Structure 1
């Protein structure tokens, strides 16, 4: 969709999560750092508390303090990766809260929700399928897609 927009950061959420700078894919040294960014993108610029990140990204970790430390580690790795591509300014951080700066990125799902012409053409029914927590957003996107395109409900009549 926007992979070839030079000078911009493009985030692809449909059919898998990826980040591009100047049309080139950004590679992450840590899967959790990438997932942390994906989670923040999913929250569309809203600040997310550390405890919520810990619960969602490290749901199998029983020790919440350890999970929070793991989030800090993932955030530091994410920041280091983004800094190496000179795009660390897409992140925002406060005391115990994290967000993505939506004004600094182009994102396929944001464009679809804003009803940018042609943007729904890139939505094939998948939204960050690698992350189970993204299923709620997927159901909302599906509903909007069917409403926008005036298609019959896929769960409806036979």
Structure 2
């Protein structure tokens, strides 16, 4: 689970993140002192499920921040945190998931988590989180970047993700990565080394089952990936809003066409 937290007072922010961590030990928590920094993070990274926002902040208050976050991800669970009660009406107009009065405690956090407006479906069988929008990157479920010993190995995995579970022959992969170069014995041997290195990197982080490997062909196991591109194709509103006009930006062969999908521009 990925959680956003914002409070411009250092001690209050520390108390908030400590309470969240006590309630959700396995969660990824991204905390910010400035609403603008949180907003920038939310617009450039995979969607989070919950945001704990202090209402009374300088520059941009929590209600204003929540409105902007809802534009990015309408299904984000907003939980307001404050020492004041005059904002309750504004919070309810935004259909917030909850409202916590300071001081924040583990028990208060747990009470709000039990009543989320948009319940979170756990994905316990996911092996990798994959980011396609912007630069291509791969993470373990706890947010640790996956290290590929060869950059080309990461590119092979990117191509397999791009193919969305379709089986790809070694020759097809070579054609995508090396375009006009001849598919001779030398290149075949090089591609095999790259694939071997890719599988080694995936195995090292416990994600070897993310790829189906058969004789002369490979494909990704889409059920083992949490991928923004796949969620976009399913018209997930958070993924649609997180698209920033870049798709696997570091790879020239990545060709992403909006016209291939019918989606509501109001998402």
Q: TM-score category by the smaller chain?
A: 0.7 to 0.9
Q: CA deviation at 1:146?
A: 8.1
- Which residue pairs with 1:121 in the alignment? 241
Q: Provide the secondary structure at the position in 1 that maps to 2:213.
A: strand
Q: Which has the higher relative contact order, 1 or 2, with Cα contacts under 8 A spaced 6 or more apart?
A: 1
Report the TM-score when normalising by structure 2.
Answer: 0.51
Computing the radius of gyration from Cα coordinates, the structure with the larger value is 2
Q: Which piece of structure 1 moves more, 22-31 or 40-49? A: 22-31
Q: 1:84 to 1:6 in 2, by over 3 A?
A: farther
- Which residue pairs with 2:265 in the alignment? 149
Q: 1:94 to 1:2 in 2, by over 3 A?
A: farther
Report the TM-score when normalising by structure 1.
Answer: 0.83
Tell me if 1:15 matches 2:131: no
8 Å contact from structure 2 (residues 199, 208) kept in 1: yes
- Which residue pairs with 2:197 in the alignment? 77
What is the root-mean-square deviation of aligned Cα atoms in Å? Answer: 2.4
Where is the helix percentage greater, Structure 1 or Structure 2? 1
Count of residue correspondences: 147
Q: Which piece of structure 1 moves more, 86-95 or 3-12? A: 3-12
8 Å contact from structure 2 (residues 133, 247) kept in 1: yes
Q: C-alpha distance in 2, partners of 1:146/1:46?
A: 21
Q: 1:68 to 1:2 in 2, by over 3 A?
A: farther
Q: C-alpha distance in 1, partners of 2:206/2:48?
A: 17
Q: C-alpha distance in 1, partners of 2:261/2:164?
A: 18
Matches within 5 A, 1:5-154: 8=126, 9-21=128-140, 22-135=142-255, 138=256, 140=257, 142-143=258-259, 147-149=263-265
Q: Which piece of structure 1 moves more, 63-72 or 97-106? A: 63-72
- Which residue pairs with 1:155 in the alignment? none
Q: CA deviation at 1:61?
A: 3.1
